[in-house]
A and B are shown apart, each in its own frame.
Chain A
Amino acid sequence: MALITDLFVQGGQMLIVLLLAPLLTGFVRATKARMMRRRGPPLVQPYRDLVRLMRKEVVLADSASWLFRVIPYLIFAATWVAASLVPTFRTGLLFSWSADLIAIAALLGSARFFLALAGLDVGTSFGGIGSSREVMIASLAEPAMIMIVFTLALLAGSTQLSTIAELMVAPGVGLRVSLGLALIALIMVALAENARIPVDNPATHLELTMVHEAMVLEYSGRHLALIELSTFLKLLLYVSLIACIFAPWGVAEQGATSAALAVGIVAYVGKLAGGGLLLAVFETSIAKMRVFRVPEFLGAALMLGLLATLLLFVSRSL
Chain B
Amino acid sequence: MTVVILVCAACWLVLAGTAVAIGRSPAGSTIIYGGSLLLAVVSLVVGTIHLLGHAAPAAVTLPLGLPWIGAHFRLDALSAFFIVVVDLGAVTASLFAIGYGRHEQAPLRVLPFYPAFLAGMNVVVLADDAFSFLVAWEFMSLSSWALVLAHHQVPDNIRAGYVYIVMASFGTLALLLAFGLLAGPDGGYAFADIRASHPSAAVAALALCLALLGAGSKAGLVPLHVWLPLAHPAAPSHVSALMSGVMTKVAVYGFVRIVFDLLGEPAWWWSMVVLTLAGLTCVLGVLYALMQHDLKRLLAYHTVENIGIIFIGLGLGLAFKAYGMAWAAALALTAALLHVFNHSLFKSLLFFGAGAVLTATGERDMEHLGGLIHRMPQTAFTFLIGCAAISALPPLNGFVSEWLTFQAILVSPQLPSWGLKFLVPAVGALLALSATLAAACFVKAFGVTFLGRARTPAAMAAQETDRFSLAAMFLLAALCLAAGILPGLFIDALAGVVQTLAGERMPVQSGVEWLSIVPIAQSRSSYNGLLVFLFMVISGVLAAFAIHRLASDRLRRAPAWDCGYPDASPATQYTASSFAQPIRRVFGSAVFRAREQVTMPPPGDTGPARLHVVLHDPVWEGLYLPLAAGISFTAERLNGLQFLTIRQFLSLVFAALVILLLVLALWP
Binding site for B on A (CB under 8 A): 54-67, 73-74, 76-78, 80-81, 95, 97-100, 102-103, 106-107, 109-110, 112-113, 116-117, 119-129, 131-133, 135-136, 138-140, 142-143, 146-147, 150, 153-154, 157-160, 163, 205-206, 217-218, 220-222, 225-226, 291-292, 295, 302, 305-306, 309-310, 312-314, 316
Contact, CB under 8 Å: A160 / B443: no
Contact, CB under 8 Å: A67 / B540: no
For the complex, what is the distance from the CA of A119 to the CA of B526, rounded to whole Å? 34
Instruction: List chain A residues, Cβ under 8 A from B446.
Output: 117
| Closest chain A residue, CB of each to CB of B399 | A106
- Also in contact, A121 and B451, with CB within 8 A (given A160-B524, A217-B563): yes
In angstroms, how far is the closest chain B Cβ from the Cβ of A41? 22
| Closest chain A residue, CB of each to CB of B423 | A313
The contact string, 1 if C-beta is below 8 Å from chain A, for chain B 552-575, is 111111111111001100101110
Contact, CB under 8 Å: A65 / B451: yes
Contact, CB under 8 Å: A153 / B377: no
Choose one: A54, A126, A312, A316; the contact of B547 (CB below 8 Å): A54
Instruction: List chain B residues, Cβ under 8 A from A305.
Output: 429
- Also in contact, A116 and B422, with CB within 8 A (given A55-B552, A109-B393, A123-B570): no
Instruction: List chain A residues, Cβ under 8 A from B443.
Output: 113, 116-117, 120, 131, 135
| Closest chain B residue, CB of each to CB of A111 | B393
Contact, CB under 8 Å: A313 / B422: yes
Contact, CB under 8 Å: A58 / B554: yes
Contact, CB under 8 Å: B436 / A106: no
Choose one: B399, B425, B560; the contact of A63 (CB below 8 Å): B560
- Also in contact, A147 and B429, with CB within 8 A (given A78-B536, A124-B566): yes
Instruction: List chain B residues, Cβ under 8 A from A226.
Output: 543, 547
CB within 8 Å of A: which B21-35 residues: none
In angstroms, how far is the closest chain A Cβ from the Cβ of B44? 31
Contact, CB under 8 Å: B453 / A63: yes
Contact, CB under 8 Å: A158 / B525: yes
Instruction: List chain B residues, Cβ under 8 A from A306.
Output: 425-426, 429
* Most A C-beta atoms less than 10 A away, residue of B406, B442, B537, B582: B582
* Most B C-beta atoms less than 10 A away, residue of A63, A78, A126: A63
Contact, CB under 8 Å: B559 / A99: no
| Closest chain B residue, CB of each to CB of A99 | B532
Instruction: List chain B residues, Cβ under 8 A from A206.
Output: 563
CB within 8 Å of A: which B397-449 residues: 399, 403, 406-407, 409-410, 412-413, 421-422, 424-426, 428-429, 432-433, 435-437, 439-440, 442-444, 446-448
Instruction: List chain B residues, Cβ under 8 A from A63.
Output: 371, 452-453, 560
A-B contact pairs, 10 of them (CB 8 A): A54-B551, A60-B555, A64-B560, A78-B536, A121-B451, A139-B440, A159-B406, A217-B561, A225-B551, A313-B422
In angstroms, how far is the closest chain A Cβ from the Cβ of B39? 38
Contact, CB under 8 Å: B579 / A131: yes
| Closest chain B residue, CB of each to CB of A147 | B429
Contact, CB under 8 Å: A138 / B452: no
In angstroms, how far is the closest chain A Cβ from the Cβ of B106? 36
Stretch at the interface among B115-123, B384-392, B596-604, B631-639: B384-392
In angstroms, how far is the closest chain B Cβ from the Cβ of A221? 7
Contact, CB under 8 Å: A81 / B583: no
In angstroms, how far is the closest chain B Cβ from the Cβ of A130? 10
For the complex, what is the distance from the CA of A97 to the CA of B399, rounded to whole Å? 16
Instruction: List chain B residues, Cβ under 8 A from A60.
Output: 555-558
Contact, CB under 8 Å: B448 / A120: yes
In angstroms, how far is the closest chain B Cβ from the Cβ of A82? 10
Contact, CB under 8 Å: A117 / B447: yes
7 A-B pairs closest in CB distance: A128-B574, A123-B452, A120-B447, A54-B551, A135-B440, A57-B554, A136-B582
Q: Is B514 positioned at the interface, with any CB of A under 8 Å from its CB?
A: yes
In angstroms, how far is the closest chain A Cβ from the Cβ of B82? 28
Given A57-B556, A116-B447, 17 other A-B contacts at CB below 8 A? A55-B552, A57-B555, A59-B556, A59-B557, A59-B558, A73-B544, A77-B535, A97-B528, A109-B436, A124-B572, A128-B579, A139-B436, A160-B525, A218-B561, A226-B543, A310-B422, A313-B412
* Most B C-beta atoms less than 10 A away, residue of A56, A135, A142, A316: A135
Contact, CB under 8 Å: B552 / A154: no
CB within 8 Å of A: which B296-335 residues: none
Q: Is B394 positioned at the interface, with any CB of A under 8 Å from its CB?
A: yes
In angstroms, how far is the closest chain B Cβ from the Cβ of A222? 5
| Closest chain A residue, CB of each to CB of B561 | A218
- Also in contact, A58 and B556, with CB within 8 A (given A106-B393, A157-B524, A160-B525): yes
Q: Is B523 positioned at the interface, with any CB of A under 8 Å from its CB?
A: yes
For the complex, what is the distance from the CA of A57 to the CA of B436, rounded to whole Å? 35
In angstroms, how far is the closest chain B Cβ from the Cβ of A210? 10
Choose one: B447, B453, B525, B551; the contact of A222 (CB below 8 Å): B551
Contact, CB under 8 Å: A98 / B532: yes
Contact, CB under 8 Å: B525 / A138: no
Q: Is B481 positioned at the interface, with any CB of A under 8 Å from its CB?
A: no
Contact, CB under 8 Å: B560 / A62: yes
| Closest chain A residue, CB of each to CB of B387 | A113
| Closest chain B residue, CB of each to CB of A72 | B543
Choose one: B371, B425, B429, B560; the contact of A218 (CB below 8 Å): B560
Q: Is B370 positioned at the interface, with any CB of A under 8 Å from its CB?
A: yes
- Also in contact, A76 and B377, with CB within 8 A (given A120-B443, A120-B574, A291-B582): no
Contact, CB under 8 Å: A132 / B388: no
Choose one: B433, B540, B553, B573; the contact of A123 (CB below 8 Å): B573
For the complex, what is the distance from the CA of A7 to the CA of B233, rounded to whole Å? 52
| Closest chain B residue, CB of each to CB of A309 | B425
| Closest chain A residue, CB of each to CB of B550 | A54
For the complex, what is the distance from the CA of A119 to the CA of B573, rounded to whole Å? 11
For the complex, what is the distance from the CA of A110 to the CA of B410, rounded to whole Å? 23
Instruction: List chain A residues, Cβ under 8 A from B18.
Output: none
For the complex, what is the distance from the CA of A144 to the CA of B563, rounded to whole Å? 33
